[in-house]
Amino acid sequence: MSNSSLPEAGKPLGHFVSTAEFDPQSTEKLTPAQEKYYFASQRQLIWWKFKKHRLAYYSGLFLLFCYFVIAFAEFIAPYDLSHRHIDDIYAPPQGIHFFEDGKFVGPRVYQRIKTLDMEILKREYSDNMTKSYPIRFLCEGDPYRFWGLIEGNTHLFCVEGKGDLFLLGTDRLGRDMFSRIIYGARISLTIGLIGITVSFVLGITIGGLAGYYGGWVDVVVQRIIEVLQSIPSIPLWMALAAILPVTWSPILIYFGITVILGLLDWTGLARAVRSKLLSLREEDYVLAAQLMGAKPPRIIVRHLIPGFMSHLIASATITIPAMILGETSLSFLGLGLRPPVTSWGVLLNEAQNINVVVLYPWLILPVVPVILVILAFNFMGDGLRDAADPYH
């Protein structure tokens, strides 16, 4: 700028706009690492923080794997859900061996010797160590309809020839437990998702109304929640489950049960939404938005919901296991799902007798995936909750 551009004394200054590009960091240069951090979106910050929480990260991966498996349940399970092997009732789990006479032979199972102890009428199984069958991959077995649509009979693995492949044993009708657990996962893992969707919609709408409008709406909602919470959950489940008509098909019952689980779960979520809305409403940025003339719907959707959505997702993650366990205890009481719909709860229903624990302990195996999935959801929920507040 030269002096010649200045106006004469006493005259107003001309409006000056620099043509040079504006660089807000001209005074203080950011390192690339800093730049990456400061300019990251909230979603990215959450993701970074979540990844640092090792246990939560691997739990998340495990759950992804589980949902991947249930998407291909028909293909991964070696037998059909209701295929009855009448010669193999209450067969114990079989082991897979890779070596024979010190030589690597690939995965094989021994032939089963099946006898019936006439004195105590107990079926006894032992391995014939001299004969074994190889396990084949991508082979043909029980026919199925993939997702009820595409017909197929290819399975991920099965045994060749006349061999049996009961990795986790069989139940009282000679059905393969491993296949049943995989099919059961499809029901058990989705029941929480549908239930949580129902309770999410109810919780956010009702809690949001109470928190935003306050006044008598708030009072009424608070009372309803108090009433619902004052009645123990199991009787409520039982009563609602008892109304489902007996004539309904098992699939309709399944949806009914999930909706019931969701209908009773929203109270906690609604409370959380309400208190979050009440406190966030007082924040400066909401006032700023109001002063700029934003209408209430825009304030709620654009400014308030993103503020607590992550918290809600985290708390939802912790509620899913409660729903899975809820279904298990409903099925245990004989009020939940009914065969032929198979969930982990239905499978465990067969294991409610102490004789089972003593004689056929492999029937309690469905509890292993239950425990793993619930632990994984809890760890992931913990990680999400920590990550939900990335600046904390």
Partner 1 sequence: MLKYIFFRFMAMIPTLAIASVLIFTIVELPPGDYFESYVAELQASGETVDPEKIEYLRVEYGFDKPAWQRYFGWVWGMFHGDFGYSFEYERPVSELIGSRIFLTMLLSTVTIIFTWLIAFPIGIYSATHKYSMGDYGFTFIGLLGLAIPNFLLALVMMYFAKVWFGTSIGGLMDPEYINEPMSLAKFGSIMEHMAIPVIVIGTSGTAAMIRRIRANLLDELKKQYVTTARAKGVPPVRAVLKYPFRMSLNFFIADIGNILPAVVSGAEVVAIVLSLETTGPLLISALQSQDMYLAGTFLMFLAVLTVIGVLVSDILLAILDPRIRLQGKAQK
Chain-centre distance for alpha carbon 204: 20
Interface pick for partner 1 out of 239, 252, 301, 309 (rule CB under 8 A): 239
Sole binder of partner 1 in the list 317, 328, 342, 343 (CB under 8 A):
328
- The smaller minimum CB distance to partner 1, of residues 65 and 147, is found at 65
Regarding 235 and contact with partner 1 (CB under 8 A), the answer is yes
**How far apart are CB 276 and partner 1 at their closest, in Å?**
12
Spatial contact of 363 and 177, defined as CB atoms under 8 Å apart: yes
Interaction of residue 210 with partner 1, rule CB under 8 A: no
Q: Looking at 177, 269, 304, 370, which residue binds partner 1 (CB under 8 A)?
A: 370
Q: Is there a contact between 366 and 345 (Cβ–Cβ < 8 Å)? A: no
Contact stretch for partner 1 (CB under 8 A) within 20-28, 66-74, 207-215, 369-377: 369-377
Q: Look at the block and give the residue holding tokens 């899975």.
A: 324
Question: Residue 153, CB half-sphere, CA atoms under 13 Å: how many?
Answer: 4
Stretch that binds partner 1, among 92-100, 201-209, 301-309, 372-380 (CB under 8 A): 372-380
Q: How far apart are CA 321 and CA 370, in angstroms?
A: 9
**Region 256-275 residues binding partner 1, contact defined as CB under 8 A:** 275
Site for partner 1 in 36-65 (CB under 8 A): 55
Instruction: Report whether 351 contacts 364 (CB < 8 A).
Output: yes
Residue from 118, 243, 291, 292 binding partner 1 (CB under 8 A): 243
Pick between residue 190 and residue 329 the one whose CB is nearest to partner 1. 329
Shortest reach from residue 115's CB to partner 1, in Å:
26
Of 96-155, binders to partner 1 (CB under 8 A) are none
Q: Which of 226, 252, 339, 340 binds partner 1 (CB under 8 A)?
A: 226
Contact mark string toward partner 1, 272..311, x via CB under 8 A: ---x------------------------------------
Choose between 75 and 332: whose C-beta lies nearer to partner 1.
332
Task: Give the contact letters, 344-363, x = binds to partner 1 (CB under 8 A), - = no.
Answer: ----x--xx-x--xx-----
**391 part of the interface to partner 1, by CB under 8 A:** no
Interface contacts to partner 1, rule CB under 8 A: 55, 223-224, 226-232, 234-236, 238-240, 242-243, 275, 321, 325, 328-329, 332-333, 348, 351-352, 354, 357-358, 364, 367, 370-371, 374-375, 378-379
